[in-house]
Amino acid sequence: MIVYFLRHANAGEPVSNPKKDEKRALDKEGIEQCGIVGRALAALDVQVDAIISSPLKRAAQTASLVGNELSYEGKLQLEDALRPGASFADFRRLLEKYSKQEAIMVVGHNPNLSEFLGRSISDTGCDARTELKKGAVAKVEMGRNAAALHWCVTPKVLRSLYSAAAESSRPKTSRK
């Protein structure tokens, strides 16, 4: 199974009240990040059978916006196993629940999403971490007994690649 780990995009500053923080939406930069990431994934011909998100608003918005760019037509699945504070055991149960799918995207929060990614690709399943910046996405191929990280990109890297591609496709003006 292929698992795309996507950290929610930028949502401004956390709110001290946990209930209000759960409703914190993406900010302008976060919405832009989702467009960049979604278009890049579409250009890579990423197709997923399920998009599974934390139920918190910023994660669900990220999942929905990126899903739209991928022309994903399925129902967004909300799972508590991707909430802040969820355990790796919760995440393993989530993977088992969706194990019949060829490719899934999980959308969540740090520090636990980075932990889940790191522990998934660690040979020993130890407390390894791979830092996921806001809006970053990693592709992992999960086998029965091992997993391999194929790539991990941030919106900033993708924005730079788009700029470079646009620059190189502009007609060169010659001087006489």
Q: What is the pLDDT of residues 134-153, one digit of tens each?
A: 999 999 999 887 889 999 99
3-state secondary structure of 161: helix
What's the pLDDT at 144? 80
103 DSSP β-pair partners = 2
Paired tokens of 32: 């832009």
Could you give the angle at which helices 57-69 and 28-43 cross, rounded to 10 degrees? 40
Paired tokens of 104: 């899934």
User: 141-163 b/e with 16+ CB inside 10 Å = b?
Assistant: ebeeeebeeeebbbbeebeeeee
Confidence of residue 9 (pLDDT cuts 50, 70, 90): very high
Assess whether pLDDT exceeds 70 at residue 25: yes
Confidence of residue 111 (pLDDT cuts 50, 70, 90): very high
What's the pLDDT at 15? 87
Q: What is the mean pLDDT of the chain?
A: 91
% of the chain surpassing 90 pLDDT:
72
